[in-house]
Chain A
Amino acid sequence: MSGVRALRSFKLVNAGSVDEAARILAEGNAWPLAGGTDIIHLLRFRVLPDGMYPDVLVNLKTISPSLEYINYQDGVLRIGALTKLSAISRDAAVKERFAALAAAAGSVGSPQIRNVATVGGDIAQFPRGWYFRKPDNRFHCLRKGGDTCYARTGDNRYHSIFGEINGCVAVNMSDVAPALVALDAEIVTNKRTIRAEDFWDVRVPRSTVLEQDEVMLEIRIPAPPRGARSSFEKFAVRKAIDFPIVNGAALIGDGLARIVLNAVYPVPYRARKAEEILRGRTDAINEELAEEAADAAVSGAVPLAYNGWKVQVARSIVKRLILPGTRR
């Protein structure tokens, strides 16, 4: 016998068009279904309280024309929301001009997960904090409509080092998210265009600003200026099948600096003080300047009882983003 639990039951609808998907989503307790890797986890382990599960999953993979594509033209990269992470990590144009995104997509989970997980699903993934994810809704935390963030007084070694949002200190674990913010991407939905910076939120139980009947269609990214270089760094215990402990992405050069950390705050965290130090000085980057910027990046840290060590990790990630090849 195998110990793998059956999924909590649901109805499955194959949407033929974006309009049809939106219509069904608007009608009731329905969720969009992309690769399904995050949704399956929630339904198998009964992570949520009763009443918070979807009755219906609306399969977006049957939408025509397909939302799975990568297209670089006239200085703009367009990636369909259903594009698999493996395709993004291997795409020649993405690797050449949007290196941070290729590296971020290629660092998610394992090859098997990247062959199924989509870019839209990665940036909309549900919280991964261990109190939230404990099977059978063992901890009915704030993000599930409860009144306690268990991580504040419990084991918070992997939680936020920059404080809470709406009382929650669970971090956003997406690898792709910081790359999109660093590259100043836009997320195009059936309703609006959202700047990557404004895309995440702390809600019950979701992590994005998406509305009930809102479907992500495309990620749009302008090509960085010629003199700028983007990069991604991830610190995790293992190289494969491991979420970030801290990750980060940057776009630096041509006087410009955008530096974004993730897994350090409930939403991706822009290291603005570090950016200010580098702004206009990207031609003069050296060890000293990188140290100064890395210190500034974590100057607002307010670590919890058990995660002071993450401040040092975050600082190192920022330094590596600024000075490729550094080991500290």
Chain B
Amino acid sequence: MSGIVGAVEERRVIKININGREYEFEIGVDIQPGTTLFELLRSRVGLRSVRDACLGDGSCGACTVLVDGDPVLSCMMLAADCHNRKVETVEGIAREGHPLIDAFAKNYAYQCGYEAPAFIVTAKALLDKNPNPSEEEIVEALSGIISRAGVYPAVISAVEDAAEALRKRGVS
């Protein structure tokens, strides 16, 4: 066992780009090996759009964020696994002035809004890869997020509106 302990007690610095800003966390000092991305974003960085509705069971999707452009569950990911990667939350997407934010508001794509950040980041990842998704593709992309209020139809309209706004922007 001594060999293992020697190897792991070596401190390691995790560098993560969060919403365009570079952060460094030292394992054993700022975070633990078992700190999840969820805890890191909420408690260390203060990004309160990252939420849970299933106590971290992996089954609600409310904690979704983008890692290197792909939607992942921050509750099911170790912060240490995000070393040298790019993390985006809805705060960053809003700051960019992404049309999804307006489109969600105009379509009333939420009741309480608890899972709206998860829908928005996931839709952003979809639109980055597929600027003109079909309804079926939108439903599939967003299928990992549960809305207790059942706002799904409004969410689909919002994503379609944002896609159109992005295409118009691209043209002008």
Contacts and interface: CB of A to CB of B under 8 A. Distances in A.
B64 interface: yes
B116 interface: no
12 contacts: A3-B52, A9-B33, A10-B34, A12-B33, A13-B8, A24-B4, A37-B76, A41-B76, A110-B145, A111-B140, A112-B71, A241-B61
A57 B33 CA distance: 9
A134 interface: no
Contacts of A13: 4, 7-8
A81 interface: no
Interface residues of A, number: 40
The 5 closest A-B pairs by CB, nearest first: A110-B144, A240-B143, A12-B33, A7-B34, A4-B56
Interface string B49-87: 001100111110101100000111101111011000000
A61 B81 contact: yes
Interface stretch (B15-23, B36-44, B93-101, B155-163): B36-44
B143 A111 contact: yes
Given A28-B1, A115-B72, A241 B144 contact: yes
B56 A116 contact: no
B153 to A, nearest CB: 16
Contacts of A44: 56
B57 A41 contact: yes
Interface of B: 1, 3-5, 7-9, 27, 32-36, 38-39, 42, 51-52, 55-59, 61, 63-64, 70-73, 75-78, 80-81, 122, 140-141, 143-146
B65 to A, nearest CB: 9
A126 to B, nearest CB: 14
Given A11-B4, A28-B4, A56-B4, A115 B58 contact: no
A5 B38 CA distance: 11
A133 to B, nearest CB: 10
A36 B38 CA distance: 14
Contact of A113 (B9, B144, B146): B144
A241 B81 CA distance: 23
Interface string A38-72: 00110111000000000111010100000000000
B78 A40 contact: yes
A113 B55 contact: no
B1 A2 contact: no
A18 interface: no
Contacts of B39: 4, 6
B4 A112 contact: no
Contact of A5 (B51, B55, B63, B146): B55
A24 B1 CA distance: 8
Interface string A238-251: 01110000000000
Nearest to A8: B34
A220 B39 CA distance: 38
Contacts of B144: 109-113, 240-241
A40 B76 contact: yes
Contacts of A6: 32, 34-35, 39
Nearest to B64: A112
B81 A36 contact: yes
A6 B35 CA distance: 7
